Structures are given as structure tokens and as C-alpha cells.
Amino acid sequence: MAARTLTGKVVLITGGAGGIGLATAKELVARGATCVLADVDGAALAAAAEQLGGSATTVELDVTDLAACEAAVQEVAARHGGVDVVWANAGIATFGPLASTDPAAWVRTVEINLIGVHHTIRAALPEVLRRRGYVAVTASLATYAHAPGMSAYAATKAGVEALCNSLRLEVAHHGVDVGTIHPTWIATNMVLEGDQELDAFARLRAAMLPPFKKTYPVQRAAADIAAGIERRAPRICTPRFVWAAHVLRAGLATRGFTWNLRRAAPDIERRFADEAARRGGAAEASASARVREQLRERHPVG
């Protein structure tokens, strides 16, 4: 079989204006791909395009709008001749015990992380089918390991894995491959803002045991993901220990694996309640300031 190559391939990346999306786009461009960055943040998109230089194009996109996703794909196909790879990477993280976290923030997490993935894939699939291409979706270590305070995020990441497992069987006979991407904690705004701004989240992170508590450089994840996209892998785990979580997933919810999180849960609950009281409500304690602002702009939270 001929070696896989990204040379000349058009890769559409949602959530591409920063974090793992942008870092991986740089790796993909180095491997010969043409990357199109899509993101809801127009200013961040412009800055990202400058970093990538003349090889990148951008499109402002809210993945919760199916019609907008379809229009974006049509625009990309008209400009570049088609789409070979679609990577549904856009996502947010909200935090808090289910009984006390902001309900609107919980629902919005599902709308972006799960329904937005559906919209992205559904819009791009005709082009990807035509090019016998590849569908990638950002899942997480949280697909396998479900921590207290992360019910919305974990539900969406388990959900996109299930979506992809079904889709993989549906499109295999068309020559299309489907992959899920499973990073652990990566040094992006999503993780660093939680550590710095959300006391209950920081308590969760402190309670975790090695290797689950360590944060890895974004460049490490980007190299692993780019290599996985190039070989059209069905599952990309970064770093490699996440493969063990995949293999051992049935045991990760048992008391033997979760004793430390069970012990920390009452303190996480108390800290979240204190933070909500101090800030003026659950909405203020459920996400970082940057994410709260995004939620207010597009879907009032409170």
C-alpha cells in the first residue's frame, strides 16, 4: 500500500483559531496540507492566519448553526476544489457538580461539543465522500475517565466517540476513514484558565493521580495528532498512556480507580458553592471568564 500523504490535501479545522487546532494546523501545513481554519472568534482567526502565513485561509463559523456549517463547506470547496479532511475540533469546557452548575452552561456545552460535531460532519460529509477522505473528531481522555464536576464535558466526549464508531461503519465502503482524537490535559487556554480561575476545578486536578494529573505541551499533542491524521488513524491517543485508559476503560469507574476522586468530591462541591456565592451565581463559577463571555454573546447564561 502506498504511504499516506497530506500533500495537496485540503483540511478544514473547526476551533482552529488557537490551542490544539492551531498548533496542529502548523504541523499539517509542514506536511504539505492546505489548512482552512474555522472558528467563532473572528479576531483570533485573523491572528492565527498571520501565524500560518499565506498558506492558510479562514472562515468565521458557529458550529451550532447547521446552515452556517453548510455554507462554510461550500465556500471552502469553491475556493479549494473540495475538502479531503474535516476535523471537528471546536469545543468548550464548563465545570461544576450537576446539582449546582449552571443549567444553561451545561446545555451549551452539549450544543457545541456534540451537536456542533454533528453539524460539522453532516455539512462536510458530501465533500469528504466525494474525495474518499477522512473525518476526525476531538474527543478526550474524558471519553474514558469521568471526573466529578465534568459531567457535561465527559458526556459530550463519550458521545462523539459513539457517533464516530457508528459513522465509521457507515462510510467505510465509500473509502472514507473516521478517527477520534483523545488528548489528556494539554497546556491550552481551556486547561490553564480552569487551573487559574476556577477553584473547584483546581481542586479536582490536585486530587488526580499520576499520570492523569500531568499537563503536556500543546506541541506534543499537535505532533501526535498530525501524524494520526496523516495515516487516517481510527483512534489517536496523546500521549501514549491514554491508550491504557482506552484498554482499561471498564475499570476506570470502579472504586479501585476512583477512590481519590470520591474523597475529593465533597470538597469540590463545597468550593464550587463558595465560588458561586462569592461571584454572584453558578453561571460565574461554571466556566472561565473567556468562556463565560462567549456564552453570553451567543446564548445568555444565568
Q: Which of 134, 144, 153, 216 is catalytic?
A: 153
Gap between the Cα atoms of 11 and 59, Å rounded: 13
The Cα–Cα gap between 133 and 273 comes to 47
**H or E stretch including 117?**
helix 116-130
Q: Which of 36, 31, 76 is nearest to 55 (CA)?
A: 36
DSSP 141: G
- Cis peptide before 239, with omega less than 30 degrees from 0? yes
- C-alpha dist (Å) from residue 163 to 53, 91, 135, 288: 34, 16, 12, 28
Listed in order, strand segments (DSSP E) in the chain are 10-14, 34-39, 57-60, 85-88, 134-138, 177-183, 235-238
Grouping H, G, I as helix, E, B as strand and the rest as coil, residue 32 is coil
153 is catalytic: yes
The catalytic residues are: 153
